[in-house]
Structure 1
Amino acid sequence: MSRMRRTDDGDELLARLGSLTAQARERAEVQRSRVELALALQRGMLPRDLPAAPGFRLAVQYAPACHGLNVGGDWYDAFAMPDGRIGLSIGDVQGHNIEATAFMGQVRVGLRALASVTGEPGELLARTNELLVSLGSDLFATCIFMRLDPATGVLESARAGHIPCVWATADGKSGVAEDEGGPPLGVQEGMDYPVTRYRLTKGGVFVLLTDGVVEGPTLSVEEGLEQVVRLAGTAAVAGMEADSLAAAVIKRAERVGHEDDAAVLVVSHDRLAGPERPRVRP
Protein backbone atom coordinates (compact mmCIF):
# COMPACT_ATOMS: atom_id res chain seq x y z
CA MET A 1 0.00 0.00 0.00
CA SER A 2 2.70 2.46 0.94
CA ARG A 3 4.64 1.74 -2.26
CA MET A 4 1.54 2.42 -4.39
CA ARG A 5 0.86 5.66 -2.49
CA ARG A 6 4.43 6.84 -3.08
CA THR A 7 4.09 6.01 -6.77
CA ASP A 8 0.81 7.92 -6.99
CA ASP A 9 2.37 10.90 -5.19
CA GLY A 10 5.31 10.90 -7.61
CA ASP A 11 3.02 10.80 -10.63
CA GLU A 12 0.96 13.66 -9.22
CA LEU A 13 4.10 15.73 -8.60
CA LEU A 14 5.34 15.13 -12.13
CA ALA A 15 1.94 16.09 -13.53
CA ARG A 16 1.91 19.34 -11.52
CA LEU A 17 5.45 20.15 -12.63
CA GLY A 18 4.47 19.52 -16.23
CA SER A 19 1.45 21.80 -15.90
CA LEU A 20 3.50 24.60 -14.31
CA THR A 21 6.16 24.26 -16.99
CA ALA A 22 3.53 24.53 -19.73
CA GLN A 23 2.02 27.62 -18.08
CA ALA A 24 5.44 29.25 -17.72
CA ARG A 25 6.23 28.50 -21.36
CA GLU A 26 2.92 30.00 -22.44
CA ARG A 27 3.48 33.18 -20.41
CA ALA A 28 7.01 33.52 -21.79
CA GLU A 29 5.67 33.16 -25.34
CA VAL A 30 3.06 35.86 -24.73
CA GLN A 31 5.69 38.21 -23.29
CA ARG A 32 8.05 37.49 -26.18
CA SER A 33 5.27 38.28 -28.64
CA ARG A 34 4.57 41.57 -26.86
CA VAL A 35 8.25 42.53 -27.04
CA GLU A 36 8.44 41.64 -30.74
CA LEU A 37 5.30 43.67 -31.42
CA ALA A 38 6.67 46.67 -29.52
CA LEU A 39 9.99 46.46 -31.39
CA ALA A 40 8.13 46.31 -34.70
CA LEU A 41 6.08 49.35 -33.68
CA GLN A 42 9.26 51.22 -32.74
CA ARG A 43 10.91 50.46 -36.06
CA GLY A 44 7.78 51.33 -38.01
CA MET A 45 7.32 54.69 -36.30
CA LEU A 46 10.87 55.91 -36.92
CA PRO A 47 11.57 57.79 -40.18
CA ARG A 48 12.97 55.79 -43.08
CA ASP A 49 14.69 58.77 -44.73
CA LEU A 50 16.28 61.97 -43.49
CA PRO A 51 15.87 65.36 -45.22
CA ALA A 52 18.82 66.84 -47.08
CA ALA A 53 20.07 70.43 -47.31
CA PRO A 54 23.20 71.80 -49.03
CA GLY A 55 26.09 72.03 -46.59
CA PHE A 56 24.38 70.05 -43.83
CA ARG A 57 24.61 66.43 -42.79
CA LEU A 58 22.16 64.50 -40.61
CA ALA A 59 22.95 61.11 -39.10
CA VAL A 60 21.07 58.88 -36.66
CA GLN A 61 21.73 55.77 -34.62
CA TYR A 62 19.18 53.81 -32.61
CA ALA A 63 19.56 50.82 -30.29
CA PRO A 64 16.30 49.47 -28.81
CA ALA A 65 16.27 48.01 -25.31
CA CYS A 66 16.44 44.25 -25.68
CA HIS A 67 17.29 43.25 -22.12
CA GLY A 68 14.70 40.87 -20.71
CA LEU A 69 11.21 42.24 -21.37
CA ASN A 70 12.17 45.93 -21.43
CA VAL A 71 10.95 47.84 -24.47
CA GLY A 72 11.21 51.59 -24.27
CA GLY A 73 9.79 54.58 -26.07
CA ASP A 74 12.77 56.56 -27.36
CA TRP A 75 12.45 58.20 -30.75
CA TYR A 76 14.18 60.54 -33.19
CA ASP A 77 12.73 62.41 -36.14
CA ALA A 78 13.80 64.80 -38.91
CA PHE A 79 11.54 66.27 -41.57
CA ALA A 80 11.17 69.18 -43.98
CA MET A 81 8.85 71.92 -42.74
CA PRO A 82 6.48 73.99 -44.92
CA ASP A 83 8.77 77.07 -44.78
CA GLY A 84 11.81 75.15 -46.04
CA ARG A 85 13.43 74.71 -42.65
CA ILE A 86 14.11 71.32 -41.10
CA GLY A 87 12.42 70.03 -37.96
CA LEU A 88 14.47 67.83 -35.64
CA SER A 89 13.23 66.01 -32.56
CA ILE A 90 14.44 63.42 -30.12
CA GLY A 91 12.70 62.17 -27.00
CA ASP A 92 11.92 59.51 -24.45
CA VAL A 93 8.59 58.23 -23.12
CA GLN A 94 8.34 57.14 -19.49
CA GLY A 95 8.00 53.39 -19.15
CA HIS A 96 9.33 50.23 -20.79
CA ASN A 97 6.41 48.41 -22.34
CA ILE A 98 4.21 48.33 -25.41
CA GLU A 99 2.08 51.17 -24.02
CA ALA A 100 5.17 53.42 -23.92
CA THR A 101 5.92 52.51 -27.53
CA ALA A 102 2.39 53.38 -28.63
CA PHE A 103 2.51 56.68 -26.70
CA MET A 104 5.82 57.47 -28.40
CA GLY A 105 4.05 57.18 -31.74
CA GLN A 106 1.37 59.62 -30.60
CA VAL A 107 3.97 62.18 -29.53
CA ARG A 108 5.98 61.92 -32.74
CA VAL A 109 2.91 62.13 -34.98
CA GLY A 110 1.56 65.02 -32.90
CA LEU A 111 4.79 66.99 -33.30
CA ARG A 112 4.78 66.47 -37.05
CA ALA A 113 1.12 67.38 -37.46
CA LEU A 114 1.32 70.51 -35.32
CA ALA A 115 4.53 71.60 -37.08
CA SER A 116 2.36 72.33 -40.13
CA VAL A 117 0.44 74.82 -37.98
CA THR A 118 3.34 76.42 -36.11
CA GLY A 119 7.04 75.86 -36.63
CA GLU A 120 8.16 77.94 -33.64
CA PRO A 121 9.69 75.32 -31.30
CA GLY A 122 8.37 76.74 -28.03
CA GLU A 123 4.80 77.07 -29.28
CA LEU A 124 5.02 73.66 -30.94
CA LEU A 125 5.96 71.96 -27.67
CA ALA A 126 3.27 73.91 -25.80
CA ARG A 127 0.58 72.76 -28.25
CA THR A 128 1.85 69.18 -28.18
CA ASN A 129 1.74 69.27 -24.39
CA GLU A 130 -1.90 70.41 -24.46
CA LEU A 131 -2.75 67.63 -26.91
CA LEU A 132 -1.15 64.94 -24.74
CA VAL A 133 -2.76 66.24 -21.55
CA SER A 134 -6.16 66.09 -23.27
CA LEU A 135 -5.62 62.39 -24.04
CA GLY A 136 -5.67 61.63 -20.32
CA SER A 137 -2.79 59.15 -20.39
CA ASP A 138 -0.75 58.33 -17.29
CA LEU A 139 2.42 58.50 -19.41
CA PHE A 140 4.60 61.51 -20.19
CA ALA A 141 7.49 62.26 -22.55
CA THR A 142 10.67 64.29 -22.51
CA CYS A 143 11.70 65.90 -25.77
CA ILE A 144 13.90 68.38 -27.62
CA PHE A 145 12.58 70.04 -30.78
CA MET A 146 14.88 72.07 -33.03
CA ARG A 147 14.18 74.07 -36.16
CA LEU A 148 17.17 74.39 -38.51
CA ASP A 149 17.34 77.17 -41.10
CA PRO A 150 19.65 75.93 -43.88
CA ALA A 151 20.02 79.47 -45.25
CA THR A 152 21.67 80.81 -42.08
CA GLY A 153 22.73 77.79 -40.02
CA VAL A 154 20.58 79.02 -37.12
CA LEU A 155 19.08 76.38 -34.84
CA GLU A 156 16.11 77.32 -32.68
CA SER A 157 15.64 74.89 -29.81
CA ALA A 158 13.03 74.18 -27.14
CA ARG A 159 13.41 71.48 -24.49
CA ALA A 160 10.73 69.65 -22.50
CA GLY A 161 12.35 67.93 -19.53
CA HIS A 162 14.93 66.21 -21.75
CA ILE A 163 18.68 66.02 -21.23
CA PRO A 164 20.47 68.87 -23.06
CA CYS A 165 22.29 68.40 -26.35
CA VAL A 166 26.04 68.69 -26.95
CA TRP A 167 27.81 71.05 -29.37
CA ALA A 168 31.31 71.39 -30.78
CA THR A 169 33.11 73.63 -33.28
CA ALA A 170 36.00 72.97 -35.63
CA ASP A 171 38.32 75.29 -33.66
CA GLY A 172 38.20 73.07 -30.56
CA LYS A 173 35.38 74.58 -28.51
CA SER A 174 32.70 72.22 -27.16
CA GLY A 175 30.17 71.98 -24.36
CA VAL A 176 26.67 71.15 -23.17
CA ALA A 177 23.85 73.42 -24.37
CA GLU A 178 22.68 75.81 -21.67
CA ASP A 179 19.06 76.37 -22.68
CA GLU A 180 16.50 76.80 -19.91
CA GLY A 181 13.91 74.24 -20.96
CA GLY A 182 10.47 73.42 -19.57
CA PRO A 183 8.66 70.43 -17.98
CA PRO A 184 7.99 67.09 -19.70
CA LEU A 185 5.09 66.79 -22.13
CA GLY A 186 1.75 65.44 -20.98
CA VAL A 187 2.02 66.27 -17.26
CA GLN A 188 0.28 69.61 -16.77
CA GLU A 189 -1.54 71.99 -19.08
CA GLY A 190 -0.58 75.60 -19.67
CA MET A 191 3.20 75.09 -19.71
CA ASP A 192 5.70 77.37 -21.49
CA TYR A 193 8.85 76.27 -23.31
CA PRO A 194 11.55 78.93 -23.81
CA VAL A 195 13.41 79.01 -27.11
CA THR A 196 17.19 79.28 -27.37
CA ARG A 197 19.01 80.10 -30.61
CA TYR A 198 22.33 78.64 -31.73
CA ARG A 199 24.37 78.87 -34.90
CA LEU A 200 26.24 76.07 -36.59
CA THR A 201 29.49 77.22 -38.18
CA LYS A 202 31.85 75.48 -40.60
CA GLY A 203 32.73 72.06 -39.23
CA GLY A 204 30.41 72.46 -36.24
CA VAL A 205 28.19 69.70 -34.85
CA PHE A 206 25.22 69.31 -32.57
CA VAL A 207 24.52 65.96 -30.91
CA LEU A 208 20.99 65.22 -29.66
CA LEU A 209 20.63 62.06 -27.57
CA THR A 210 18.57 60.17 -25.01
CA ASP A 211 19.63 59.24 -21.48
CA GLY A 212 20.24 55.61 -22.42
CA VAL A 213 23.44 56.84 -24.07
CA VAL A 214 24.87 58.72 -21.12
CA GLU A 215 23.37 57.44 -17.87
CA GLY A 216 23.86 54.10 -16.11
CA PRO A 217 24.27 52.40 -12.72
CA THR A 218 27.82 53.71 -12.30
CA LEU A 219 27.65 56.80 -14.52
CA SER A 220 25.78 60.03 -13.84
CA VAL A 221 24.15 62.05 -16.61
CA GLU A 222 26.70 64.83 -16.08
CA GLU A 223 29.63 62.45 -16.43
CA GLY A 224 28.10 60.81 -19.48
CA LEU A 225 27.44 64.14 -21.18
CA GLU A 226 31.01 65.25 -20.50
CA GLN A 227 32.30 62.14 -22.25
CA VAL A 228 30.13 62.93 -25.29
CA VAL A 229 31.40 66.54 -25.19
CA ARG A 230 34.98 65.29 -25.46
CA LEU A 231 34.04 62.88 -28.24
CA ALA A 232 32.19 65.56 -30.22
CA GLY A 233 35.02 68.05 -29.73
CA THR A 234 37.58 65.59 -31.06
CA ALA A 235 35.31 64.69 -33.99
CA ALA A 236 34.74 68.34 -34.97
CA VAL A 237 38.46 69.17 -34.92
CA ALA A 238 39.28 66.02 -36.91
CA GLY A 239 36.51 66.65 -39.46
CA MET A 240 34.77 63.35 -38.71
CA GLU A 241 31.69 62.60 -40.79
CA ALA A 242 28.30 62.87 -39.07
CA ASP A 243 27.63 59.15 -39.61
CA SER A 244 30.90 58.20 -37.93
CA LEU A 245 30.27 60.50 -34.98
CA ALA A 246 26.75 59.12 -34.47
CA ALA A 247 28.13 55.56 -34.55
CA ALA A 248 30.85 56.45 -32.04
CA VAL A 249 28.34 58.06 -29.66
CA ILE A 250 25.88 55.14 -29.76
CA LYS A 251 28.79 52.77 -29.12
CA ARG A 252 29.05 54.36 -25.69
CA ALA A 253 25.60 53.04 -24.81
CA GLU A 254 26.99 49.50 -24.79
CA ARG A 255 29.36 50.47 -21.97
CA VAL A 256 26.87 52.44 -19.88
CA GLY A 257 25.08 49.39 -18.49
CA HIS A 258 21.63 51.02 -18.67
CA GLU A 259 18.89 48.64 -19.82
CA ASP A 260 17.16 51.31 -21.88
CA ASP A 261 16.72 52.50 -25.45
CA ALA A 262 19.48 54.68 -26.87
CA ALA A 263 19.02 57.21 -29.67
CA VAL A 264 21.45 59.69 -31.24
CA LEU A 265 20.80 62.43 -33.82
CA VAL A 266 23.82 64.35 -35.17
CA VAL A 267 23.59 67.59 -37.15
CA SER A 268 26.76 68.89 -38.80
CA HIS A 269 27.40 71.93 -40.97
CA ASP A 270 30.22 72.25 -43.49
CA ARG A 271 29.34 75.44 -45.35
CA LEU A 272 29.12 78.63 -43.23
CA ALA A 273 32.46 80.27 -42.47
CA GLY A 274 33.65 81.46 -39.12
CA PRO A 275 34.77 79.54 -36.01
CA GLU A 276 32.48 81.35 -33.60
CA ARG A 277 30.96 79.75 -30.52
CA PRO A 278 27.55 78.38 -31.56
CA ARG A 279 25.50 80.20 -28.91
CA VAL A 280 23.46 83.13 -30.23
CA ARG A 281 21.22 85.08 -27.90
CA PRO A 282 17.91 86.38 -29.31
Structure 2
Amino acid sequence: MTPRRPSKSVSADDLLTTLGRLTARARAGAEMQQARVELAEALQREMLPASLPALPGLRSAARYVPARHGLDIGGDWYDGFPLPEGALAFSIGDVQGHDVEAAAFMGQVRVGLRAVSAVVEDPGEVLSRANDVLLSLDCELFATCTLLRFDPETWELETARAGHVPTVWATVDGRYGITDDEGGLPLGVEPGAGYAVTRRRLDQAGSIVLLTDGVVEGPSFPIDVGLARVVRVVQEAAGADPDEIAAEIMKVADSTGHADDAAVLVLSHDAAGPRRW
Protein backbone atom coordinates (compact mmCIF):
# COMPACT_ATOMS: atom_id res chain seq x y z
CA MET A 1 0.00 0.00 0.00
CA THR A 2 1.52 3.32 -1.16
CA PRO A 3 1.47 5.98 1.52
CA ARG A 4 -0.16 9.30 0.58
CA ARG A 5 1.94 12.38 0.31
CA PRO A 6 0.93 15.06 2.73
CA SER A 7 -1.02 17.84 0.99
CA LYS A 8 0.65 21.21 0.82
CA SER A 9 -1.63 23.90 2.12
CA VAL A 10 -1.75 27.33 0.50
CA SER A 11 -1.55 30.13 2.99
CA ALA A 12 -3.51 33.33 2.73
CA ASP A 13 -0.26 35.22 2.18
CA ASP A 14 0.66 32.98 -0.76
CA LEU A 15 -2.78 33.46 -2.29
CA LEU A 16 -2.62 37.23 -1.94
CA THR A 17 0.88 37.28 -3.43
CA THR A 18 -0.30 35.27 -6.46
CA LEU A 19 -3.35 37.49 -6.96
CA GLY A 20 -1.14 40.54 -6.70
CA ARG A 21 1.16 39.22 -9.42
CA LEU A 22 -1.77 38.42 -11.72
CA THR A 23 -3.28 41.85 -11.12
CA ALA A 24 0.04 43.52 -11.91
CA ARG A 25 0.35 41.54 -15.14
CA ALA A 26 -3.20 42.43 -16.17
CA ARG A 27 -2.56 46.09 -15.39
CA ALA A 28 0.69 46.04 -17.35
CA GLY A 29 -1.10 44.40 -20.30
CA ALA A 30 -3.84 47.03 -20.24
CA GLU A 31 -1.29 49.83 -20.05
CA MET A 32 0.64 48.32 -22.96
CA GLN A 33 -2.53 48.08 -25.06
CA GLN A 34 -3.42 51.68 -24.24
CA ALA A 35 0.09 52.76 -25.21
CA ARG A 36 -0.25 50.92 -28.53
CA VAL A 37 -3.57 52.63 -29.23
CA GLU A 38 -2.14 56.05 -28.40
CA LEU A 39 0.92 55.38 -30.58
CA ALA A 40 -1.26 54.22 -33.48
CA GLU A 41 -3.51 57.26 -33.18
CA ALA A 42 -0.50 59.58 -33.09
CA LEU A 43 1.02 57.90 -36.15
CA GLN A 44 -2.27 58.08 -38.02
CA ARG A 45 -2.73 61.75 -37.13
CA GLU A 46 0.70 62.52 -38.53
CA MET A 47 -0.17 60.74 -41.79
CA LEU A 48 -3.52 62.53 -42.15
CA PRO A 49 -3.85 66.22 -43.05
CA ALA A 50 -3.64 68.65 -40.14
CA SER A 51 -6.45 70.71 -41.67
CA LEU A 52 -8.80 70.77 -44.64
CA PRO A 53 -8.99 73.59 -47.21
CA ALA A 54 -11.85 76.04 -46.79
CA LEU A 55 -13.56 78.69 -48.87
CA PRO A 56 -16.29 81.23 -48.03
CA GLY A 57 -19.51 79.26 -47.85
CA LEU A 58 -17.84 75.83 -47.85
CA ARG A 59 -17.38 74.11 -44.50
CA SER A 60 -15.71 70.76 -43.98
CA ALA A 61 -14.97 68.34 -41.16
CA ALA A 62 -13.44 64.88 -40.85
CA ARG A 63 -13.11 62.16 -38.22
CA TYR A 64 -10.96 59.04 -37.98
CA VAL A 65 -10.90 56.15 -35.50
CA PRO A 66 -8.25 53.38 -35.61
CA ALA A 67 -8.81 49.67 -36.05
CA ARG A 68 -9.60 47.57 -32.99
CA HIS A 69 -7.34 44.68 -33.81
CA GLY A 70 -3.91 44.01 -35.25
CA LEU A 71 -1.51 46.90 -34.73
CA ASP A 72 -4.36 49.40 -34.48
CA ILE A 73 -2.88 51.05 -37.56
CA GLY A 74 -5.14 51.12 -40.56
CA GLY A 75 -5.15 52.18 -44.16
CA ASP A 76 -8.20 54.46 -44.09
CA TRP A 77 -7.58 58.08 -44.96
CA TYR A 78 -9.21 61.38 -45.84
CA ASP A 79 -7.57 64.33 -47.54
CA GLY A 80 -8.24 67.78 -48.93
CA PHE A 81 -5.94 70.05 -50.90
CA PRO A 82 -6.04 73.06 -53.25
CA LEU A 83 -5.73 72.65 -57.00
CA PRO A 84 -4.49 75.05 -59.68
CA GLU A 85 -6.84 77.88 -60.65
CA GLY A 86 -8.62 77.87 -57.29
CA ALA A 87 -10.37 74.49 -57.33
CA LEU A 88 -10.26 72.07 -54.38
CA ALA A 89 -9.89 68.31 -54.23
CA PHE A 90 -11.11 65.96 -51.51
CA SER A 91 -10.47 62.24 -51.24
CA ILE A 92 -11.28 59.38 -48.92
CA GLY A 93 -10.18 55.79 -49.17
CA ASP A 94 -9.37 52.46 -47.62
CA VAL A 95 -6.21 50.38 -48.10
CA GLN A 96 -6.35 46.63 -47.68
CA GLY A 97 -4.94 45.49 -44.33
CA HIS A 98 -4.31 46.88 -40.84
CA ASP A 99 -0.57 47.07 -40.38
CA VAL A 100 2.45 49.23 -41.03
CA GLU A 101 2.56 48.16 -44.67
CA ALA A 102 -1.05 49.26 -45.17
CA ALA A 103 -0.35 52.60 -43.52
CA ALA A 104 2.72 53.12 -45.72
CA PHE A 105 0.77 52.24 -48.88
CA MET A 106 -1.94 54.66 -47.78
CA GLY A 107 0.68 57.42 -47.70
CA GLN A 108 1.78 56.50 -51.23
CA VAL A 109 -1.81 56.63 -52.50
CA ARG A 110 -2.38 60.07 -50.96
CA VAL A 111 0.83 61.44 -52.42
CA GLY A 112 0.03 59.91 -55.81
CA LEU A 113 -3.43 61.46 -55.91
CA ARG A 114 -2.07 64.87 -54.96
CA ALA A 115 0.72 64.72 -57.54
CA VAL A 116 -1.50 63.66 -60.43
CA SER A 117 -4.30 66.10 -59.46
CA ALA A 118 -1.83 68.97 -59.80
CA VAL A 119 -1.51 68.34 -63.55
CA VAL A 120 -4.79 66.58 -64.46
CA GLU A 121 -8.24 68.11 -63.93
CA ASP A 122 -10.57 65.16 -64.62
CA PRO A 123 -10.97 63.05 -61.43
CA GLY A 124 -11.48 59.87 -63.45
CA GLU A 125 -8.22 60.42 -65.28
CA VAL A 126 -6.51 61.18 -61.98
CA LEU A 127 -7.60 57.80 -60.58
CA SER A 128 -6.55 56.03 -63.76
CA ARG A 129 -3.04 57.51 -63.71
CA ALA A 130 -2.66 57.02 -59.96
CA ASN A 131 -3.70 53.39 -60.44
CA ASP A 132 -0.90 52.85 -62.96
CA VAL A 133 1.62 54.56 -60.69
CA LEU A 134 0.69 52.33 -57.76
CA LEU A 135 0.93 49.21 -59.93
CA SER A 136 4.45 50.25 -60.92
CA LEU A 137 5.45 50.08 -57.24
CA ASP A 138 4.94 46.31 -57.38
CA CYS A 139 2.97 46.23 -54.14
CA GLU A 140 0.44 43.46 -53.52
CA LEU A 141 -2.00 45.76 -51.72
CA PHE A 142 -4.92 47.63 -53.26
CA ALA A 143 -7.03 50.61 -52.22
CA THR A 144 -10.60 51.77 -52.71
CA CYS A 145 -11.08 55.50 -53.11
CA THR A 146 -13.47 58.33 -53.89
CA LEU A 147 -11.99 61.49 -55.40
CA LEU A 148 -14.02 64.70 -55.57
CA ARG A 149 -13.14 67.93 -57.39
CA PHE A 150 -14.92 71.08 -56.24
CA ASP A 151 -15.28 74.20 -58.38
CA PRO A 152 -15.88 77.22 -56.10
CA GLU A 153 -17.28 79.38 -58.92
CA THR A 154 -20.07 77.01 -59.97
CA TRP A 155 -20.28 74.83 -56.84
CA GLU A 156 -20.04 71.86 -59.17
CA LEU A 157 -18.72 68.55 -57.84
CA GLU A 158 -16.98 66.08 -60.12
CA THR A 159 -16.72 62.67 -58.48
CA ALA A 160 -14.93 59.45 -59.44
CA ARG A 161 -14.98 56.20 -57.45
CA ALA A 162 -12.55 53.29 -57.38
CA GLY A 163 -14.51 50.45 -55.80
CA HIS A 164 -15.39 52.59 -52.80
CA VAL A 165 -18.44 53.05 -50.55
CA PRO A 166 -21.18 55.31 -52.01
CA THR A 167 -21.53 58.86 -50.71
CA VAL A 168 -24.55 60.22 -48.83
CA TRP A 169 -26.19 63.64 -49.22
CA ALA A 170 -29.02 65.67 -47.75
CA THR A 171 -30.51 69.18 -47.90
CA VAL A 172 -32.45 71.28 -45.41
CA ASP A 173 -35.59 71.10 -47.54
CA GLY A 174 -35.88 67.37 -46.85
CA ARG A 175 -34.21 65.80 -49.86
CA TYR A 176 -31.60 63.09 -49.27
CA GLY A 177 -30.11 60.03 -50.89
CA ILE A 178 -27.18 57.74 -51.63
CA THR A 179 -25.07 58.58 -54.67
CA ASP A 180 -24.12 55.12 -55.85
CA ASP A 181 -22.37 56.45 -58.95
CA GLU A 182 -20.78 54.27 -61.56
CA GLY A 183 -17.25 53.46 -60.48
CA GLY A 184 -14.29 51.32 -61.41
CA LEU A 185 -11.96 48.76 -59.89
CA PRO A 186 -9.95 49.51 -56.74
CA LEU A 187 -6.59 51.16 -57.28
CA GLY A 188 -3.69 48.77 -57.74
CA VAL A 189 -5.65 45.91 -59.30
CA GLU A 190 -5.61 46.18 -63.09
CA PRO A 191 -3.46 48.29 -65.44
CA GLY A 192 -5.30 50.79 -67.60
CA ALA A 193 -8.48 50.78 -65.48
CA GLY A 194 -10.97 53.51 -66.32
CA TYR A 195 -13.15 55.54 -63.96
CA ALA A 196 -16.37 57.33 -64.85
CA VAL A 197 -17.03 60.85 -63.55
CA THR A 198 -20.36 62.05 -62.13
CA ARG A 199 -21.16 65.76 -62.04
CA ARG A 200 -23.58 67.50 -59.70
CA ARG A 201 -23.85 70.71 -57.69
CA LEU A 202 -23.69 71.13 -53.96
CA ASP A 203 -27.04 72.61 -52.95
CA GLN A 204 -27.35 75.60 -50.66
CA ALA A 205 -27.40 74.43 -47.02
CA GLY A 206 -26.75 70.91 -48.30
CA SER A 207 -24.16 68.38 -47.16
CA ILE A 208 -22.36 65.53 -48.84
CA VAL A 209 -20.67 62.80 -46.81
CA LEU A 210 -17.76 60.62 -47.91
CA LEU A 211 -17.00 57.64 -45.70
CA THR A 212 -15.21 54.29 -45.49
CA ASP A 213 -16.77 50.87 -44.97
CA GLY A 214 -15.67 50.78 -41.33
CA VAL A 215 -18.40 53.35 -40.66
CA VAL A 216 -21.28 51.36 -42.12
CA GLU A 217 -20.29 47.69 -42.04
CA GLY A 218 -19.53 45.24 -39.26
CA PRO A 219 -19.86 41.58 -38.24
CA SER A 220 -23.39 40.48 -39.18
CA PHE A 221 -24.15 44.12 -40.02
CA PRO A 222 -24.85 44.61 -43.76
CA ILE A 223 -23.50 47.72 -45.43
CA ASP A 224 -26.95 48.74 -46.72
CA VAL A 225 -28.23 48.89 -43.14
CA GLY A 226 -25.30 51.07 -42.13
CA LEU A 227 -25.79 53.37 -45.11
CA ALA A 228 -29.47 53.74 -44.24
CA ARG A 229 -28.51 54.81 -40.72
CA VAL A 230 -26.03 57.36 -42.04
CA VAL A 231 -28.67 58.73 -44.42
CA ARG A 232 -31.03 59.19 -41.47
CA VAL A 233 -28.32 60.96 -39.43
CA VAL A 234 -27.42 63.30 -42.29
CA GLN A 235 -31.07 63.98 -43.05
CA GLU A 236 -31.87 64.88 -39.43
CA ALA A 237 -28.71 66.99 -39.09
CA ALA A 238 -29.07 68.83 -42.42
CA GLY A 239 -27.86 72.40 -41.99
CA ALA A 240 -25.89 71.61 -38.83
CA ASP A 241 -22.18 72.22 -38.40
CA PRO A 242 -20.15 69.61 -40.37
CA ASP A 243 -18.20 68.66 -37.25
CA GLU A 244 -21.46 67.82 -35.46
CA ILE A 245 -22.59 65.73 -38.44
CA ALA A 246 -19.26 63.85 -38.50
CA ALA A 247 -19.53 63.14 -34.76
CA GLU A 248 -23.06 61.76 -35.12
CA ILE A 249 -22.00 59.57 -38.04
CA MET A 250 -19.20 58.07 -35.96
CA LYS A 251 -21.86 56.94 -33.48
CA VAL A 252 -23.20 54.77 -36.30
CA ALA A 253 -19.74 53.25 -36.65
CA ASP A 254 -19.76 52.40 -32.93
CA SER A 255 -23.11 50.64 -33.29
CA THR A 256 -21.94 48.26 -36.02
CA GLY A 257 -19.51 46.40 -33.77
CA HIS A 258 -16.85 46.87 -36.44
CA ALA A 259 -13.19 46.02 -35.86
CA ASP A 260 -12.01 48.00 -38.88
CA ASP A 261 -10.71 51.55 -38.86
CA ALA A 262 -13.16 54.18 -40.02
CA ALA A 263 -13.09 57.63 -41.58
CA VAL A 264 -15.70 60.20 -42.56
CA LEU A 265 -15.45 63.50 -44.45
CA VAL A 266 -18.33 66.02 -44.51
CA LEU A 267 -18.67 68.96 -46.92
CA SER A 268 -21.42 71.54 -46.39
CA HIS A 269 -22.63 74.59 -48.30
CA ASP A 270 -23.94 77.39 -46.14
CA ALA A 271 -23.86 80.34 -48.57
CA ALA A 272 -25.92 81.53 -51.51
CA GLY A 273 -25.38 79.48 -54.63
CA PRO A 274 -26.97 77.02 -57.05
CA ARG A 275 -29.94 75.29 -55.44
CA ARG A 276 -29.97 71.96 -57.23
CA TRP A 277 -28.07 68.72 -57.40
Check if 1:271 corresponds to 2:262.
no
The one of 60, 63, 74 equivalent to 2:62 is 60
Distance 1:179 1:156 in 2: 11
Question: Judging changes above 3 Å, is the alpha-carbon distance between structure 1 residues 36 and 171 closer, same or farther for their aligned structure 2 residues?
Answer: closer
TM-score, with structure 2 as normaliser: 0.85
Any gaps of 5 or more consecutive residues in structure 1? 1-27
Distance 2:36 2:188 in 1: 25
Quote how far apart the aligned CAs of 1:120 are: 1.4
Tell me which residue corresponds to 2:86: 84
Quote how far apart the aligned CAs of 1:38 are: 5.1
Question: Judging changes above 3 Å, is the alpha-carbon distance between structure 1 residues 196 and 66 closer, same or farther for their aligned structure 2 residues?
Answer: same
Tell me which residue corresponds to 1:116: 118
Quote how far apart the aligned CAs of 1:39 are: 4.3
Alignment map for 1:232-271 (pairs within 5 Å): 232-236=234-238, 239-271=239-271
SS in 1 for 2:129: helix
Contact in 2 for aligned 1:170/1:275 (Cα 8 Å): no
Question: Judging changes above 3 Å, is the alpha-carbon distance between structure 1 residues 231 and 94 closer, same or farther for their aligned structure 2 residues?
Answer: same
Between 62-71 and 104-113, report the one with greater CA deviation: 62-71
How many residues are aligned here? Answer: 256
Quote how far apart the aligned CAs of 1:33 are: 8.6
Distance 1:254 1:108 in 2: 26
Question: Judging changes above 3 Å, is the alpha-carbon distance between structure 1 residues 170 and 48 closer, same or farther for their aligned structure 2 residues?
Answer: same
Contact in 1 for aligned 2:70/2:98 (Cα 8 Å): no
Check if 1:220 corresponds to 2:228.
no
Question: Judging changes above 3 Å, is the alpha-carbon distance between structure 1 residues 201 and 30 closer, same or farther for their aligned structure 2 residues?
Answer: closer
- What amino acid maps onto 2:189 in structure 1? V
RMSD: 2.8
Any gaps of 5 or more consecutive residues in structure 2? 1-29
Q: Deviations over 1:236-266 (max 9, x none)?
A: 1xx2111110111112211111101110100
Distance 2:109 2:35 in 1: 24
Check if 1:93 corresponds to 2:95.
yes
TM-score, with structure 1 as normaliser: 0.83
Alignment map for 1:1-282 (pairs within 5 Å): 39-67=41-69, 69-236=71-238, 239-273=239-273, 275-276=275-276, 278=277
